[in-house]
Structure 1
Amino acid sequence: MTISHHSHSGQFCCHAKGTLAEVVGEAIRQGFTTFGLSEHVPRYSEEHLYPEESHLKVQDLMDTFEAYLVEAHRLKQLRADECALLVGLETEYIDAAGLDRLEQLLEKHSGTIEYLVGSVHHCDSAPIDFDKERYDACLASQPGSTQAERLEHLLCTYFDNQYKVLSRLQPEVVGHFDLCRLYYPDMDFRAHPEVWARIERNVEYAASYGALFEINASAFRKGWKTAYPGADIFDVRTSSG
């Protein structure tokens, strides 16, 4: 049994490739028995668009997401005899207003959106996964008199934002748990007690309602020696029951 809960297509996501139908077809070719479709939820402010989306407006993202749901359910029916397709989305947490809008979207599409991948890609409204330049700019903007203090503040903010997603939405899948160390894969979270306490809190909370923690192989493409999450997060998860 081969299962994936996290995928994107170039048809509905600027950093992916292929149409959604092509992605589904490839998943079936590779033998997936269950395959989750999880395009990004729209963002609701033009200042939150990525550079690759500079030609788009917020309404474009909203229209694209609506079109994704239609196509995803078409494919779900069309390929039902070959693979169990799940129609979901990947969350964002940029600010509280965006999370409010996401809850409204979920209510609007109740029964259509079947599961959530709970992910965070921002800190203080700044993207931390697009490139190292933006990550470092976000890091430099954090309070603190030393680099270590600023880094700890960024990490604490990331995991606090993650907890807001977990506690408000209870996503079925926790996406790339430790994305906040994307450019520093050898970082030891245990060296930051305030950060480590938040990690333990988040893992224990997600485990308490039965969330899955994805093993995300995209980390290998970005220079990691392991998938997300790192071995230290696995240790916490396995000890939480």
Structure 2
Amino acid sequence: MPISQHSHSGQFCRHGHGKLEQVVQEAIRQGFISYALTEHVPRFAQEHLYPEESDMTVADLRAQFDAFLVEARRLQRVYADQIDLVVGCETEYITKVDLAELDALTASTMPPLLVVGSVHHVGGTPIDFSRDMYANALTQHGGSHVNLYAAYFDAQLDLITRVRPHVIGHFDLIGIFAPSPDVHLATLHHATMWPRVERNIRAAVAAGSLFEINARAWKKGIPGYPHIEVAKTIASLGGRFTLSDDAHGPKDVGLNYRQHVPTYLAEVGVEELFYWTGKLEAKSIRVANDPVWTRFFAASP
């Protein structure tokens, strides 16, 4: 299980910490066999920059991403005999322009990038940056969680069908600032919502995407992305799972893997995890009785 398909660092992400090389070194120290470096793609309009980026321009974001790619490829070469590093990106989908720009970016980048397909905005407003911004997004949708969730899952479907990402990032991130887990689950089960959930799962399965079990959720006080009931539905519809720590720096590498992930996997009934290698080949690792897995859990974090 020592794999991760989604990570960041403070070197190339303002809300992260530490250097990218420190993230890699910590993954090696913990015994990861494969680790993906997946920085956010640049946003393409000045109004979409976050408060923490107030001193930056759109051009700065692109330069930062290009610098990330150079460093990630360097680390991939330097540590090739110690760990399988995967170089990729995490999507942004704010307007249709972002998808067109993403197409251009990935088409012009060689070797090809691992693409983690994530939605962080609804109606142009961030939904995972702060409670205040989430509240603004909710207000824009009439104060209705049903309306907000519907817009999120509709945007996610656009992303899945247009981009066909290798990995679906935090499938139900929209619940991050829901008033309670009960509200999140009730909204998911709304008569107009659950069909959207199943529709998106089927679309991702058809696209060949892996569904990320995102261990950062527990740091946010959320019992896993995807919600356990969503994960069981993914499994029942033929979805394949991968695992990510969504680290934002070296201190986050492997976060919650030992504490929460084994119980989550057992509850969902996951027996095999899949991952993309540095050459973008799909491989798998058994959840139980694999020596790599056993060594990882026997070691100290």
The TM-score bracket by the shorter chain reads over 0.9
Q: Which whole-Å deviations, capped at 9, do the CAs of 1:137-192 have from their partners, x for residues lacking one?
A: 1101114xxx4xx2211111101111111101110100000000101233124431
| C-alpha separation in 2, matches of 1:119 and 1:163 | 11
Partner residue in 1 for 2:135: 136
Paired residues of 2:168 and 2:211 also in contact (CA < 8 A): yes
Paired residues of 1:123 and 1:138 also in contact (CA < 8 A): yes
Q: Within 5 Å, which residues of 2 pair with 1:41-60?
A: 41-60=41-60
1:239 maps onto 2:236 in alignment: yes
Paired residues of 2:13 and 2:39 also in contact (CA < 8 A): yes
| C-alpha separation in 2, matches of 1:67 and 1:190 | 39
| C-alpha separation in 1, matches of 2:41 and 2:112 | 11
Partner residue in 2 for 1:6: 6
Larger RCO of the pair (alpha carbons < 8 Å, separation 6+): 2
Q: Which whole-Å deviations, capped at 9, do the CAs of 1:106-156 have from their partners, x for residues lacking one?
A: 1111x334311000000001001011111011101114xxx4xx2211111
1:158 to 137, 152, 156: 152
Letter matched to residue 227 of structure 1 = G
Letter matched to residue 107 of structure 2 = E
1:167 maps onto 2:165 in alignment: no
Runs of 5+ unmatched residues, structure 1: none
Aligned to 1:76, what secondary structure does the other structure show? helix
Letter matched to residue 207 of structure 1 = V
Partner residue in 2 for 1:94: 94
Letter matched to residue 60 of structure 1 = D
The TM-score, its normalising length taken from structure 1, stands at 0.94
Partner residue in 2 for 1:122: 121
| C-alpha separation in 1, matches of 2:79 and 2:209 | 27
Identity %: 47
Letter matched to residue 230 of structure 1 = H
| C-alpha separation in 1, matches of 2:103 and 2:60 | 19
Q: 1:190 to 1:181 in 2, by over 3 A?
A: closer
Letter matched to residue 120 of structure 2 = H
| C-alpha separation in 2, matches of 1:222 and 1:190 | 19
1:17 maps onto 2:14 in alignment: no
Paired residues of 2:165 and 2:207 also in contact (CA < 8 A): no
Paired residues of 1:36 and 1:88 also in contact (CA < 8 A): yes
| C-alpha separation in 2, matches of 1:181 and 1:137 | 15
Aligned to 1:43, what secondary structure does the other structure show? coil
Paired residues of 1:91 and 1:117 also in contact (CA < 8 A): yes
Letter matched to residue 226 of structure 2 = P
1:81 maps onto 2:75 in alignment: no
Q: 1:190 to 1:15 in 2, by over 3 A?
A: closer
Letter matched to residue 150 of structure 2 = C
Paired residues of 2:9 and 2:19 also in contact (CA < 8 A): yes
| C-alpha separation in 1, matches of 2:207 and 2:47 | 34
Paired residues of 1:87 and 1:112 also in contact (CA < 8 A): no
The TM-score, its normalising length taken from structure 2, stands at 0.76
The runs of 4+ residues in structure 1 deviating greater than 2 Å are 111-114
